[in-house]
Structure 1
Amino acid sequence: MALNVSGLVALVIFYVMTLAIGVWASRKSKKEKNLQPSEVAIVGGRNINFCIGLFTATATWVGGAYINGTAEIVYLPSRGLLWVQAPVGFALSLLVGGLFFVQPMRSKNYVTMMDPIQEAYGNVMGSLLFIPPLIADIFWFAAILASLGATMKVILDIEGYLAIILSACIVILYTLLGGLYSVAYTDVIQMIFIMFSLWICTPFAITNSATKSISYTAVHESFQAPWTGKIEAQYVARWLDDFLYLVLGGIPWQTYFQRILSASSPRDARLISYLSGVGCFIMAVPSVLIGAVAASTDWNQTDYGLPTPHDRGDSSLILPLVLHYLCPMYISIGGLGAIAAAVMSSGDSALLSASSMFAHNIYRKVLRKKATENDVLWAMRLSMVAFGTIASVLAFYSHSVYDLWFLGGELVYALLFPQLCCVLFIPSTNVYGSAAGFLFGLLLRLLAGEPSLKIPPVIHYPGCSLVDGVYIQLFPFKIVTMLVTLLTIVSVSYLATFLFKANILPPEWDICHVCEGLLCPHRNIIRTGPALIVPRGYTQRTQP
């Protein structure tokens, strides 16, 4: 296979066009002179146009892992369409977010997802809870860079590391220059490119002479099992657990709230959340069809030959393989552009998300409380370069990166989602409950093991079985871990408040000052920190 020069030229043109749009958008961000520069960089001055907001919210979820992964799952003989949960899961996640989370977040004009957590539980817990989404964002960026590198190797026959380095540099550069404005405006062109390219590729793949009718192979066994798939009885609980993980675990991400908080009004924010869910679902259709085509193809009639992609262990590359071997070259180049656009649209979101939380919640509020706006911007830019570089290096270890990304996402779900629910809907919770929930939830998740990382389980839930030398948890432990974390936060918070308020524990032990502002009946005073506010009707006295 020779280097595809025309495809490489087309890809470079696409990258130059994307960079030019990002630079142009960065100039637009500088026109917002009446607002704080850091707020403009993070949430676009809360003035993002509705259409732009809808495009960027949809593009955030429709990434390289999304379109590649959907096609792969449909193609796999052991999975099939019934196991494609992301399109419906993300759509429902954005619906739930719009119904319950947009209003409390948007009404208080928060800048990041971590703001209400720091406001309720303080900087120490805010810093601890920043770690899971940071890890997940970095591994997310690394995973989609790795998928692009593998795709370019298939279609253009160039080394994957060149694609990884080039894509990472372009994304870092325009995100660094314009913040959310550059990300949002480049997402528009990337989203349009994804829509047209994938939809144009699909008919060519379906009508290829090596492919049987996908309507026939949906119900009949041909080259492999029907691509619609089936869910065996023992996997129903695990299927439901993974589905709820996508629905609820898709909410506690800064990439989501960054779009919601940047909308010009709460109404627009809710509509963007609802409609972007519909967009995510629609954008999965071409990938589903391409996966069905792959399952319906006699690969011996193509230049790929036998054994099949599944037998060679190339299932993760099924989308670029279909584009390359079942479509004309000029069409497959368009499909490559779609994958590159999807990677960049999600990569810049992950990069901006991590750097925004670090600059605003860690640097400004913890490390340097007297930092100027210019200092915060520079912290944001430097962290973008650092996080982007780390992700690029990790992308060379593609298999382990995907596994670590999934584990990071589960930690966000198990640890951060309950905390966010508590600070928004159960304001009586406190830092003691937050800390207990974090530690207990983290311990519970790690003790469940992770087969992809060869971490054996310490807790064997019902249905835990040994498959090919690896323990698999069939019990819905993800939702259980999340609910236990939520229950721990609430119960420990109420217990701590009761113990201090009833004077069972001495006030001196209240190192987190959770009883500030609460009436302490045994002392006839209200504790408010160092000073004492005396209720009406009581005589002032010093605290014994």
Structure 2
Amino acid sequence: MAFNIGGLVGLIVFYLITLATGLWASRKSKKETRENPSEVAIVGNRNMNFWVGLFTATATWVGGAYVNGTAEIVYLPSRGLVWVQAPAGFALALLIGGLFFVNPMRSKNYLTMMDPIQEAYGNMMGSLLFIPPLIADVFWFAAVLASLGATMKVILDIQGYLAIIISACTVILYTLLGGLYSVAYTDVIQLVFIMASLWICIPFAMTNFATESISYTVAHNVFQAPWVGKIETQDIGRWLDDFLYLVLGAIPWQTYFQRILSASSTKQARLISYFSGMGCFMLAIPSVLIGAVAASTDWNQTRYGLPTPNDRGESALILPLVLRYLCPTYVSIGGLGAIAAAVMSSGDSALLSASSMFAHNIYRKILRKKATEKDVLWVMRASMVVFGALAAALAFYSHSIYDLWFLGGELVYTLLFPQLCCALFIPHTNTYGSAAGFFFGFLLRLLAGESSLKIPPLICYPGCSLVDGVYVQRFPFKTVTMLVGLLTIISVSYLAAFVFKRNLLPHKWDVCHLIKDDSVFVSLPQREKQMDVQKIENDELMENNSNSAL
């Protein structure tokens, strides 16, 4: 296919509409109270409209990786529909989040998910635990940018780097200017476009002359294995591990908490969480149908020819390939717009998430505790540019970016989820337990190896086997690592409190200041807060003395 000028023009128009919406929303954010501009940027001043909140929460999860990845898994002969876990996993995650996490997070008016962790375990642990979500957010943005670049190359026959640069600049600009307001209102436009564009493509793809009925191929081996797929006995542990990773690992993300913390009430926050889970599940249906169509297509009858996408190693591009070779050109361009919308709806959320935590939890609470609201806002904007540029640069390495993003998500699940649960629900856990859980969990995950990065395991769990020269862990080791980390936090916390309270260890060894000299328990964060208050009082006293002397 030759260079498609009309398609490029249409895509540029869509980008301009998105940018205009973001700029309009940024004007709305400026009309809000100027007393807490960072709070307006991070959580929309906690008065987000219910429907806007619902759309932005749904669009956050329905990203480019979600749309493309669902179609790819359904199409793959070795996987199939039974391995499409994200729709049900995300739906359950948002249900659990609404039931258990909304109330404790909103009751104390937190701004980010790192706030309760810093409050419970101190700034040092907060800075360490900030690393996994930062890595995951940056690689997430890079992954969806790489996905869009590959899609544009297939449909419009243009270089992917143009799509990456244009998309990154657009997202950075409107997110920088309007914060959560710009992200939320552009998500509304993007989600509507995703739903409309993908559903329009379905009838054309299903009625193409080269495609067999998907209801027939669901049980018959026509062009490849049936697209429903199956789970082998030896893969049950791996399937369960991935599913629990999606359910529980989808909760400790700032992109999720940013939405529920921006709602105007706890009731609305819960409803947003519940209904956005339903929306994620429903929006997977078009991608599932497209993957089933691809598995039911005789590619030799299309201009794509043989070998098949799976044989060429292009399964990750199955959605744009279906749009290009099984749909009219104008329809495929609409589908490309849907993918672009999905990319931006996830990219802006990841960008805002990382910059919010850095500006609020690292800069304001650690690096510069006397920073003004304006300082925090400018640091937040600067970090958006830095993280966005880093993600765009990483997007050019698309062959490994998905593996790195998935690994970053695993670190969030295995390291951050138990820390957040302990900080919110288990009283009297302390910095000793948090540090032990972090390092022990990280060590266990490292020793398990990583097949996608060809890192051999030093711990071979039951079912570990060599497949095509790479060791594959079939045991649910990610969930085991998470549970071990959780138990380590609890046990070490209570053990440390016991030995210091009973004077089994000298108080001078109590580097985290669990107790005072009078044996009254004081956590490290409380100690830090006391020191900060004392420092501020001393500074004010010195300033008053100077003024008196003058």
In structure 2, what residue type is equivalent to 1:446?
Answer: L
Give the match for residue 291 of structure 1.
291
> Helix, strand or coil: the match of 1:411?
helix
In structure 2, what residue type is equivalent to 1:444?
Answer: L
Contact 2:122 2:528 in 1 (8 A): no
Q: CA–CA distance in 2 between the matches of 1:207 and 1:269?
A: 42
Give the match for residue 345 of structure 1.
345
Aligned-pair distance for 1:239?
Answer: 0.3
Shift in CA distance, 516/272, structure 1 to aligned 2, threshold 3 Å: farther
Q: CA–CA distance in 1 between the matches of 2:529 and 2:304?
A: 72
Q: CA–CA distance in 2 between the matches of 1:219 and 1:207?
A: 19
Give the match for residue 368 of structure 1.
368
Contact 1:304 1:325 in 2 (8 A): yes
Give the match for residue 148 of structure 1.
148
Spell out the pairing of 1:246-395 with structure 2 (5 A cutoff). Answer: 246-395=246-395
> Helix, strand or coil: the match of 1:453?
coil
In structure 1, what residue type is equivalent to 2:236?
Answer: V
Aligned-pair distance for 1:519?
Answer: 4.4
Aligned-pair distance for 1:134?
Answer: 0.1
Shift in CA distance, 227/500, structure 1 to aligned 2, threshold 3 Å: same
Shift in CA distance, 381/16, structure 1 to aligned 2, threshold 3 Å: same
Q: CA–CA distance in 2 between the matches of 1:122 and 1:530?
A: 12
Give the match for residue 472 of structure 2.
472
Q: CA–CA distance in 2 between the matches of 1:133 and 1:191?
A: 25
Aligned-pair distance for 1:529?
Answer: 11
Give the match for residue 442 of structure 1.
442
Shift in CA distance, 101/518, structure 1 to aligned 2, threshold 3 Å: farther
Instruction: Tell me the TM-score normalized by structure 2.
Output: 0.94
Give the match for residue 139 of structure 2.
139
Q: CA–CA distance in 2 between the matches of 1:530 and 1:71?
A: 54
Shift in CA distance, 77/529, structure 1 to aligned 2, threshold 3 Å: closer
Contact 2:149 2:163 in 1 (8 A): yes
Give the match for residue 62 of structure 2.
62
Q: CA–CA distance in 2 between the matches of 1:520 and 1:353?
A: 37
Contact 1:503 1:520 in 2 (8 A): no
Q: CA–CA distance in 2 between the matches of 1:469 and 1:427?
A: 46
> Helix, strand or coil: the match of 2:20?
helix
Give the match for residue 404 of structure 1.
404
In structure 1, what residue type is equivalent to 2:167?
Answer: S
Q: CA–CA distance in 2 between the matches of 1:472 and 1:273?
A: 35
Aligned-pair distance for 1:427?
Answer: 2.0
> Helix, strand or coil: the match of 1:466?
strand
Spell out the pairing of 1:82-231 with structure 2 (5 A cutoff). Answer: 82-231=82-231
Identify which range, 512-521 or 443-452, moves more after superposition: 512-521
Q: CA–CA distance in 2 between the matches of 1:508 and 1:203?
A: 73
Q: CA–CA distance in 2 between the matches of 1:31 and 1:132?
A: 35
Which consecutive residues of structure 2, in runs of 5 or more, have no partner in the other structure? 522-526, 532-550
Deviations 1:477-505 (A, max 9, x none): 01000000000000000000000110111
Shift in CA distance, 514/494, structure 1 to aligned 2, threshold 3 Å: same
Contact 1:501 1:518 in 2 (8 A): no
In structure 2, what residue type is equivalent to 1:134?
Answer: L
Deviations 1:353-409 (A, max 9, x none): 000000000000111111111110110011000000000000000121111101100
In structure 2, what residue type is equivalent to 1:163?
Answer: A
Instruction: Tell me the TM-score normalized by structure 1.
Output: 0.95
In structure 2, what residue type is equivalent to 1:250?
Answer: A
Q: CA–CA distance in 2 between the matches of 1:354 and 1:273?
A: 21
Aligned-pair distance for 1:19?
Answer: 0.3
In structure 1, what residue type is equivalent to 2:360?
Answer: H
Contact 1:82 1:228 in 2 (8 A): yes
In structure 2, what residue type is equivalent to 1:348?
Answer: D
> Helix, strand or coil: the match of 1:110?
coil
Aligned-pair distance for 1:34?
Answer: 5.2
Aligned-pair distance for 1:515?
Answer: 2.6
In structure 1, what residue type is equivalent to 2:192?
Answer: I
Q: CA–CA distance in 2 between the matches of 1:412 and 1:217?
A: 38
Q: CA–CA distance in 1 between the matches of 2:466 and 2:191?
A: 43
In structure 2, what residue type is equivalent to 1:136?
Answer: A
In structure 1, what residue type is equivalent to 2:309?
Answer: P
Percent identity over the alignment is: 80
Deviations 1:433-454 (A, max 9, x none): 0000000000000110001111
Aligned-pair distance for 1:217?
Answer: 0.3
Contact 2:419 2:434 in 1 (8 A): yes
Q: CA–CA distance in 2 between the matches of 1:43 and 1:325?
A: 43
Give the match for residue 244 of structure 2.
244
Q: CA–CA distance in 2 between the matches of 1:204 and 1:517?
A: 76
Give the match for residue 426 of structure 1.
426
Deviations 1:93-152 (A, max 9, x none): 000000000000011110000000001111000000000000000000000000000000
Give the match for residue 493 of structure 2.
493
Q: CA–CA distance in 1 between the matches of 2:310 and 2:520?
A: 67
Q: CA–CA distance in 2 between the matches of 1:196 and 1:518?
A: 66
Q: CA–CA distance in 1 between the matches of 2:484 and 2:430?
A: 16
Q: CA–CA distance in 2 between the matches of 1:315 and 1:388?
A: 27
Deviations 1:252-289 (A, max 9, x none): 00000000100000000000000000000000000000
Shift in CA distance, 452/518, structure 1 to aligned 2, threshold 3 Å: farther
Q: CA–CA distance in 2 between the matches of 1:14 and 1:491?
A: 54
Q: CA–CA distance in 1 between the matches of 2:228 and 2:313?
A: 21
Q: CA–CA distance in 1 between the matches of 2:164 and 2:528?
A: 54
Contact 1:516 1:528 in 2 (8 A): no
Q: CA–CA distance in 2 between the matches of 1:124 and 1:394?
A: 28
Aligned-pair distance for 1:528?
Answer: 12
> Helix, strand or coil: the match of 1:309?
coil
Give the match for residue 232 of structure 2.
232
> Helix, strand or coil: the match of 1:311?
coil
Contact 1:441 1:484 in 2 (8 A): yes
In structure 2, what residue type is equivalent to 1:403?
Answer: D
CA RMSD of aligned residues (A): 1.5
Deviation >2 Å, runs of 4+ = 515-521, 527-531
In structure 1, what residue type is equivalent to 2:22?
Answer: G
Give the match for residue 541 of structure 1.
none
In structure 2, what residue type is equivalent to 1:423?
Answer: A
Q: Is the aligned partner of 1:453 residue 2:453?
A: yes
Contact 1:432 1:492 in 2 (8 A): yes
> Helix, strand or coil: the match of 2:452?
helix
> Helix, strand or coil: the match of 2:466?
strand
In structure 2, what residue type is equivalent to 1:326?
Answer: L
Contact 1:517 1:528 in 2 (8 A): no
Aligned-pair distance for 1:508?
Answer: 1.5
Aligned-pair distance for 1:506?
Answer: 1.3
Aligned-pair distance for 1:518?
Answer: 8.0
